[in-house]
């Protein structure tokens, strides 16, 4: 079991917030952390990695990483960390980037096979695409055989196809090595695919911890369909008022009443749902 019970004062643009997190994580779990910008998600990962000091304790499989007397430095914490920007050594080939961390060449080659990069093992980072670099960064974090894998929005800079490829690689890797993983992500589809449990943090505090389904899907029993989005415009077309709603990487148009038009404004996060109609779902193409 991993026990994380930490506190730190953060100075955000909107004032001071207390980051206060108390969570228990089982070995092999895949935890997603979500929450609005500035809520303290990255700082929490940095505290776990030992890159930032905080009050409180972190105990990982009976080993104290920090408490009031002990503070293990990052290199003694056995974490693998992947950020949005791949920090590979530019003067080393892909294989050497891996061997620098762990000399086990057989394991390095196995990981390269798993993420389809074996044919690029002698290339230097500047000759790789963003997605390829990020796959190297991922397996470089794993080759250490860390106790905890920390991922900070690791795929958000990638295009949707490459992102999906990396998510699938990560599922494969998580299945094979059962690494306890904590991933910060904003993307509901990514969280849904990968995580067992979701921790929602707002202004430094845990709002709730629940399964991915409960955390992400807002459909109540009485509704046939429910989706969340952000209003980006409200327009008039003939006599109709139409709200244009961003639901991720798509826009939808919803006809709204005069009353709804008065209540809603651009920037509102809204839930669109229906109880009365049967929805038809048909395959395209
Ligand atoms: N060492 C620190 N001491 C005090 N405040 C900090 C420290 N590190 C970060 N902060 C502040 O804490 C707030 C939370 O930052 P953090 O990067 O953890 O948020 P986040 O939830 O990851 O946001 P985003 O989703 O935008 O990446 C920010 O306003 C930041 O300026």
Ligand 1 atom closest to the CA of 44, numbered from 1? 18
Q: Is 282 in the pocket of ligand 1 (CB under 6 A)?
A: no
Ligand 1 atom closest to the CA of 13, numbered from 1? 29
* pLDDT confidence of residue 279: 67
Fold for the domain defined by 2-216? Rossmann fold (3.40.50)
DSSP reduced 3-state for 274: strand
DSSP code for 74: G
Query: Can you say whether the dihedral through the CA atoms of 98, 100, 102, 107 is positive or negative?
Result: positive
pLDDT at 255 over 80: yes
Confidence category of residue 90, pLDDT binned at 50, 70, 90: very high
Residue 103's Cβ-count burial label (10 Å; 0-12, 13-18, 19+) is exposed
Please state, in angstroms and rounded to a whole number, the distance separating the CA atoms of residues 61 and 84: 28
Please state, in angstroms and rounded to a whole number, the distance separating the CA atoms of residues 18 and 203: 7
* pLDDT confidence of residue 71: 96
CB atoms within 10 A of CB 57: 16
Whether the domain at 2-216 and the domain at 225-274 fall into the same CATH topology = no
Beta-bridge partner residues of 240: 237
pLDDT at 223 over 70: no
What residue ranges do the domains of the chain occupy? 2-216, 225-274
* pLDDT confidence of residue 184: 95
From 11, 47, 187, 199, mutation site for ligand 1 pocket: most ligand atoms within 8 A of C-beta: 11
pLDDT at 275 over 90: no
Beta-bridge partner residues of 269: 230
**Mean pLDDT, the chain, whole residue set:** 89
Only one residue has tokens 């006809």, namely: 255
Distance 44 CA to ligand 1 centre (A): 9
User: What would the pLDDT profile of 32-58 be if each residue is shown by its tens digit?
Assistant: 999 888 899 999 999 999 999 999 999
Predicted TM-score (pTM) of the model is 0.81
**Could you tell me the CA-to-CA distances from 52 to 42, 57, 69, 278 in Å, in that order?**
11, 13, 16, 52
Confidence category of residue 220, pLDDT binned at 50, 70, 90: low
User: What would the pLDDT profile of 118-164 be if each residue is shown by its tens digit?
Assistant: 999 999 999 999 889 989 999 999 998 999 999 999 888 788 888 88
Fold for the domain defined by 225-274? OB fold (Dihydrolipoamide Acetyltransferase, E2P) (2.40.50)
Mean pLDDT of 163-175: 89
pLDDT at 219 over 60: no
**Angle value at C-alpha 136, between 133 and 140, nearest 5 degrees:** 140
């Amino acid at each position: 079991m991993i026990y994380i019970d930490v506190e730190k004062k953060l100075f955000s643009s909107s004032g001071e917030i207390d980051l206060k997190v108390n969570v228990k994580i089982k070995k092999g779990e895949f935890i997603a952390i979500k929450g609005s910008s500035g809520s303290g998600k990255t700082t929490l990962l940095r505290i776990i990695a030992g890159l930032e000091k905080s009050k409180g304790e972190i105990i990982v499989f009976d080993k104290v990483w920090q408490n009031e007397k002990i503070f293990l430095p990052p290199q003694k914490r056995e974490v693998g960390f992947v950020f949005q920007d791949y920090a590979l050594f530019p003067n080393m080939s892909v294989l050497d980037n891996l061997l620098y961390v762990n000399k086990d060449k057989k394991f390095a080659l196995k990981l390269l096979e798993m993420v389809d990069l074996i044919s690029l093992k002698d290339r230097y980072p500047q000759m790789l695409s963003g997605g390829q670099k990020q796959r190297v960064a991922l397996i470089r974090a794993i080759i250490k055989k860390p106790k905890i894998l920390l991922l900070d929005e690791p795929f958000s800079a990638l295009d949707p196809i490459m992102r999906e490829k990396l998510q699938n690689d990560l599922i494969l890797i998580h299945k094979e090595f059962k690494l306890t993983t904590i991933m910060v992500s904003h993307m509901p589809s990514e969280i849904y695919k990968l995580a067992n449990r979701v921790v929602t943090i707002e202004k430094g505090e845990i709002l709730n911890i629940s399964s991915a389904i409960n955390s992400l899907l807002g459909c109540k029993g009485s509704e046939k369909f429910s989706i969340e989005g952000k209003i980006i415009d409200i327009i008039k077309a003939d006599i109709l008022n139409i709200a244009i709603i961003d639901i991720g990487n798509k826009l939808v148009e919803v006809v709204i009443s005069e009353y709804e038009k008065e209540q809603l404004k651009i920037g509102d996060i809204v839930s669109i749902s229906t109880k009365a109609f049967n929805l038809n779902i048909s395959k395209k193409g």
